[in-house]
Chains A and B, each alone.
Chain A
Amino acid sequence: MQSVLEPSAAAAGPSWRERLAQAVPFLVLAPSLAATLIYVFVFTGWTLYISLSNSSLLPTYKFIGLKPYADLWANTRWNIAYHNLFIFSAFYVVGAMAVGLLLAIVIDQRVRGEAIWRTIFLYPLAVSFVVTGTVWSWLYTPDTGIQLFVRSLGWSNFTFALTTDRNLALYAIVITGIWQSSGFAMALFLAGLRSVDQDIIKAAQIDGAGVFRIYARVILPTIAPIFLAVMVVLLQFAIKTFDLAIALTNGGPGIATTFPAIYVYDLMFQRGQIAQGAAAAIMILAALAVVLVPYSLWLVWRKRREGKNG
């Protein structure tokens, strides 16, 4: 009926079949695990090493220390790129969050056709940055886009020529970025607003708080973690900005809208300064780490604290 193991054999520990069965999950996981770990650690280490080498047109492995980094930071274009990244990130993150929050709160007022509104505000996210950038670049073009349209309505002095102005082109990218990503912020905020315990809101209403006060004092504070999550994700988008700027302004006019990610591409594949390009890539990684490491630590800390309380 059943296979009776010899007691002595069983006492000696699991049979080889048993051991194999126990190892199956790990064996199945191993290849993709290895690929991912190589991708994360080996690739990073590799690029890090190249960034410390004298590679130019082709990667070489002669170690020269931090010189590529020094060269990079001495370069005007890189400094503009880094500067742009800060300005862009600030305006883009704040803008997208503000618009997203506004839309989420408005939609949360039991509006009719909620699904339709949501679909409209979120669809840009399904479209690539390339498509978004291309189309908006047309709209920004003064003699065919928005400027022409408004002038044709009668305001003949109206000017809207962001992309041709080296001081304003960055803000064209900001606006487009907000247009593209605020739906994302909206979706997350809305999910957060919906997850707030309805009893708390009822209690606040019974306490006599108005709509504005309920949002400001009760609802928004409880979804504070979502603000942080949205901010972190948007910052990530910002730091990785590449496609949008390429399609929208191609870094121009001149080098006014260069971003670190664009510069990496240029250094590596257009100018044959691979070491410096790798250094720039590592700087992008560092920027991400500055955002993500504290955030992850905070998440872990919060989890621990909840674990203790719960």
Chain B
Amino acid sequence: MADIALTRALDPEAAIAGRRYFRSRTIIYGLLTIFAIVYLLPLVVVILNSFRQLPEIAQNGLIAWPRSFSFKAWVDAWSTYCVGGTCAGMQGNFFNSLKLAIPATIISTAIGAINGYILSKWKFRGSEILFGCMMLGVFMPGQVALMPWAYILGTLHLTNSTYGLILIHCVQGISFTTLFCRNFYVNIPDDLIKAARIDGAGFWRIFRKIILPLSPPILIVTVIWQFTGIWNEFLYAVIFTSGREQPITAALVALSTNGTNVRVYDVMSAAVLIGALPPLLVYLLGGKYFVRGLTQGAIK
């Protein structure tokens, strides 16, 4: 009896609460959907246009449902399109970017891991201050380093070469990778290192046998961060390389400011996607680690 009366008394309120809940959910998902459309629009437009044919784009504009389909733009963008006199598409630039980003990522990550290990587990007098100084490198604006790099690359005969860019990104990456790894290693208990030292392991053996096996999470974060950063980098790429030596980011700008009045949106869409695909893939495959890298990079 009492139970029934209680349920009845509560019923209208429950209904109101239910309606309110439904309304708030509608607002939430509505907002998310609108933002999702805005965020996805450019990507969808580029993907669709890379498969449309140019006359159709010219007629209906960029934002339109495709009425034609072809792989021609991709083939052109990859291997035949002409930029600045050479007609080999973007493939050369794409491979330049790989030749740049992969070694620079590996080298700078390796150095960062070792530095981080030293600065967290083998502290010496003044190591904290040195670490602080190294961290200034994270904030250095590239413009300040332009003249010195120009001079150094010139002296080493590394201008207009991938190796020059590798050098730049390795040196500039050290601050980031050291920061990431050090902040990760700091949380590995010092007792592990002490135990290993008593067990007779030295500097390198501890690194190899104890630190490295614990490192995959931070190494993945660092590799993702470095790879996308170096792949996407533009300032040094455009200043220190030209033509066929350019990484793809610089080549894309050269392509879109090619000077022709007719914009070849189909080929350019494909080219843009070629340039964006590797970091996008890395992002989609390692999303969790990508976000972790972001939060670590921002909040130390």
Contact = CB atoms under 8 A, between A and B. Distances in A.
Report if A and B touch in the complex (beta carbons < 8 A): yes
Interface in B270-300: 272, 275-276, 279-280, 282-284, 287, 290-291, 294-295, 297-300
Interface residues of A, number: 93
A128 B42 contact: no
Contact of B140 (A44, A230, A274): A44
Interface in B68-88: none
A238 to B, nearest CB: 12
Contacts of A264: 143, 146
Given A129-B232, A138-B265, A145-B63, A285 B144 contact: yes
Contact of A144 (B36, B61, B231, B239): B61
A199 to B, nearest CB: 22
A72 to B, nearest CB: 13
B275 A126 contact: no
Interface string A229-247: 1100100100110110011
Given A46-B147, A281-B143, A134 B272 contact: yes
B203 interface: yes
Contacts of A297: none
B252 A131 contact: yes
A130 B234 contact: yes
B122 interface: yes
Contacts of A103: 32, 35
Nearest to B136: A40
B223 interface: no
B56 to A, nearest CB: 12
A247 B62 contact: no
B268 interface: yes
B123 to A, nearest CB: 9
Contacts of A26: 118, 124
A191 interface: yes
B109 interface: no
A121 to B, nearest CB: 6
A106 B171 contact: no
Contacts of A28: 114, 118, 203
B257 interface: yes
Nearest to B29: A111
Q: Which of B38, B147, B203 has the most CB of A within 10 A?
A: B147
A291 to B, nearest CB: 9
Given A111-B29, A120-B40, A247-B256, A144 B265 contact: yes
Interface in B186-213: 202-203
B299 A33 contact: no
Given A119-B284, A120-B40, A128-B231, A40 B133 contact: yes
B148 interface: yes
Interface stretch (A62-70, A146-154, A163-171, A213-221): A146-154
Interface of B, helix, strand, loop or mixed by DSSP: helix
Contacts of A42: 148
A39 B139 CA distance: 12
B61 A285 contact: no
Contacts of A24: 202-203
Interface in B213-247: 228, 231-235, 239
Contacts of A21: 202-203
Contacts, number: 250
B143 A40 contact: no
Contact of A43 (B31, B45, B145): B145
Interface string A11-45: 00000000001001110110011011101111110
A79 to B, nearest CB: 18
Contact of B145 (A47, A125, A229, A247): A47
Nearest to B175: A36
Contacts of B39: 120-121, 123-124, 179, 183
B119 interface: yes
B62 A145 contact: yes
B174 A35 contact: yes
A242 B235 contact: yes
Given A21-B202, A36-B174, A121-B35, A239 B294 contact: no
B28 A106 contact: yes
Interface string A93-134: 000000100110011010100010111111111111111101
Interface string B19-54: 000001000110110011011111101100000000
B111 interface: yes
A160 B32 CA distance: 24
12 contacts: A39-B137, A115-B287, A121-B35, A121-B39, A128-B234, A131-B252, A149-B63, A188-B295, A229-B299, A265-B146, A268-B146, A280-B143
Interface of B: 24, 28-29, 31-32, 35-36, 38-43, 45-46, 57, 60-64, 111, 114-115, 118-119, 122, 124, 130, 133-134, 136-137, 139-149, 151, 171-172, 174-175, 178, 202-203, 228, 231-235, 239, 249-250, 252-253, 256-257, 263, 265, 268, 272, 275-276, 279-280, 282-284, 287, 290-291, 294-295, 297-300
